[in-house]
Structure 1
Amino acid sequence: MSDTQDLRVAVLGVGVMGADHVDRINRRISGARVTVISDASPERAAQVGATARDAQLVADPFEAIAVEDVDAVLLATPSAVHAEQVLACLHAGKPVLCEKPLATDAEGALEIVRREAELGRRLVQVGFMRRFDHEHERLKSLIDTGDLGQPLMMHCAHRNPAVSPRCDSAAVITNSVVHEIDATRFLLGEEIMAITVLRPTPSSHAAEGLQDPQLVILETETGRMVDIEVFVNAGVGYEVRTEVVGERGSAMIGLDVGLVRRTEPGSWGGQITPGFRERFGQAYDSEVQRWVDAIHAGGRSGDCVDGPGSWDGYAAAAVCAAGIRSLETWDRIEVDMVPRSIIGRSGSAGAAPDQPE
């Protein structure tokens, strides 16, 4: 790929998220085009492929990664195969944007961090799209500039209208709470040291055996606390709210009216966003465009990441693993995370059946 050529992208997995990415790259992203599509369903691959001019269909995902006509890979395949496919991208020396999770367990994610560090360049970006959302960016700026004073607490709500009956209690953590875990690290700029998962009365709309809702408490390394209400069968719409409480005030995002600062009396109203694609459409567009731009800037030997990297994927996986243990034991669980200093330069510059997001 030369500096003037479009980035040739293989999209692996073209279900709801992957099909969105194919459409996004073809219609709204500059400097890239989809050249290869791969999916476990030949019918689905053909249907999505018909919308991507000149894209070839390759059934085997590992063959798709190796195709000469591919400069970079976007993974939207099922979570269970992410780690193996990311490692194949590293082996091929190709940048990859992997939808969360980076791996289904912390050990698999850590292996990716180590393998990338051995290469000496950053090739792995993880799809924590909230970091690219304009509201989250504004909230991060308020924290970093000190306008709210020292942050003390954070309150989060994550509600989906419904999920598949196949969703289990652990998947609520690994596929939904994982976003709040990364948002906590992004907004507060520090690691999470402990997690407690509480079990409120289950909703009658939850499948048998599914603990929904859940109340999650995160503790950061400086003692800040974050509470997360996650309710994946809320039945109303898609709601993601985050409020940071500081020494000099608070700020909240996710009310479908932009950031709201509680500095004087006021009121607001409106309709609830129906789904995650509507709520975070801008964030997904910005995420993929910045990924494409980073690969063009990095070329064949430089870093190809502009956003959360492999370390962020590992850190989130480690917290999720502790969260699942807490869910099972009803205990507060300390996060078992290796010191970052022993890994190398991999990951981002700092903490500064799959279900809906």
Structure 2
Amino acid sequence: MLKVGVIGTGMIGQDHIRRMTAVLAGVTVTAVTDVDVETAKKVAGGLPGATLHLTGEDLIADPAVDAVLVCSWGPTHEQYVLASIAAGKPVFCEKPLATTQDACLRIVEAEVAAGRRLVQVGYMRRYDAAYRALKRVVDSGRIGVPLMMHCTHRNAGVPSFYEKESAITDTAVHEIDMVRWMFGEEITAAQVLIPRKSRNGGPLQDPLILILELAGGAIVDVEISVNIRYGYDIRGEVVGEDGTAALGEFSPVVVRAAGERSAPIPLDWRERFLLAYDVEIQEWIDSVAGGGEPVGPSAWDGYAAAVVSDAGVAALRSGSRVPVTLAAQPTFYRAPLS
């Protein structure tokens, strides 16, 4: 039984605790902490035998914690991931790995110095059944060499603290990681196109189109619409030499009534990717239990996503095509993006 300590008991932290205690197997939550002590205390009260810690470092040092799940505020991720590496404990970190590419690189360097993989980053698209099926088709060669991919990321709305750059750093970053994994290549340049502004966007420039160039020559476009009102709609189509492959419609039911054909649309990311989160955390548990190493998105993946996100933000601000320059990849991480 893997004993997990959770740093951060906000919405995503509580959701992961729920799945580890009520849905998944081979795991128990033995410790929690949060900067909001009252919330953490309430969460700990619902976990028989769990210890409430006042700091993330105390939780990481707890002998009753085998592995750490970081769900705290983004700027704290670096310190907790580095502390977990120093303690030799596997750590699952919700995205972002860290809030700057330099911080991500420090994590990469610390993990390389430790000599084994300990870090996994929470990019759950890789665990979604539809995306996995799409990748199997692409990898099979059935549609020939992939040439392009069209992506859509639409939100019904976003919170008031959402900023212009968040369209890249918080929203499209999921496509950034997914594209690297789907094509098995690094992204080499980014550009942003600005369409007519939606009346629903308020002060935001909404929508945007992010253009990504890949090392092998493929081009990916990502429509980012974050105030489209009608629901949460994620789409993806890969165009190959001999055919195309696209994500299917997510709805499990189609209604035909009153002269219309309709299907429900997810309201938000939790509804759309609920099962992907379940698979993601279960596979992490299975991989690190008994001293194993995580096999999901790595610290290098978190670093690469940060560099591409920064390039996307620079492209948004400048209106120019911005090259992506990565540090030399350690041999430690030189394996297929799978």
One fold, TM greater than 0.5? Answer: yes
Residues 70-98 of structure 1: per-residue CA shift (max 9 Å, x gap): 11111111111111211111111110000
Structure 1 contact 256–270 (Cα < 8 Å) conserved: no
User: What's the counterpart of residue 310 of structure 1?
Assistant: 299
User: Aligned pairs, how many?
Assistant: 330
Could you tell me how far 1:203 is from its partner in structure 2? 2.5
Q: 1:338 aligns with which of 327, 330, 338?
A: 327
Give the residue type in structure 1 aligned to 2:140: T
Structure 2 unmatched runs, 5+: 253-260
Residue 72 of structure 2 is aligned to residue 77 of structure 1: yes
Q: 1:279 aligns with which of 272, 278, 287?
A: 272
SS in 1 for 2:266: coil
Residues 129-178 of structure 1: per-residue CA shift (max 9 Å, x gap): 11111111100100111111111110000111111111111122111111
Give the residue type in structure 2 aligned to 1:278: E
User: What's the counterpart of residue 37 of structure 1?
Assistant: 32
Could you tell me how far 1:202 is from its partner in structure 2? 2.8
User: What's the counterpart of residue 220 of structure 1?
Assistant: 214
User: What's the counterpart of residue 235 of structure 1?
Assistant: 229
Residues 320-354 of structure 1: per-residue CA shift (max 9 Å, x gap): 011111111111000011121xx2304x73224xx
Cα RMSD after superposing both structures: 1.5
Could you tell me how far 1:43 is from its partner in structure 2? 2.4
Distance 1:158 1:55 in 2: 38
Structure 1 stretches of at least 4 aligned residues deviating more than 3 Å after TM superposition: none
Give the residue type in structure 2 aligned to 1:85: Y
Give the residue type in structure 1 aligned to 2:14: A
Residue 151 of structure 2 is aligned to residue 156 of structure 1: yes
**TM-score normalised according to structure 2 size:** 0.94
User: What's the counterpart of residue 161 of structure 2?
Assistant: 166
Residues 271-298 of structure 1: per-residue CA shift (max 9 Å, x gap): 101111111111111111111111125x
Structure 1 contact 165–207 (Cα < 8 Å) conserved: no
Could you tell me how far 1:310 is from its partner in structure 2? 0.6
Structure 1 contact 189–350 (Cα < 8 Å) conserved: yes
Give the residue type in structure 2 aligned to 1:290: E
Structure 1 contact 23–51 (Cα < 8 Å) conserved: no
User: What's the counterpart of residue 203 of structure 1?
Assistant: 198
User: What's the counterpart of residue 313 of structure 2?
Assistant: 324
Structure 1 unmatched runs, 5+: 1-5, 259-267, 353-357
Distance 2:79 2:331 in 1: 21
User: What's the counterpart of residue 294 of structure 1?
Assistant: 287
User: What's the counterpart of residue 3 of structure 1?
Assistant: none
SS in 1 for 2:332: coil
Distance 2:336 2:175 in 1: 17
Give the residue type in structure 1 aligned to 2:113: E
Structure 1 contact 36–64 (Cα < 8 Å) conserved: yes
Give the residue type in structure 1 aligned to 2:226: V
Distance 2:76 2:89 in 1: 17
Structure 1 contact 117–344 (Cα < 8 Å) conserved: no
Residue 257 of structure 2 is aligned to residue 252 of structure 1: no
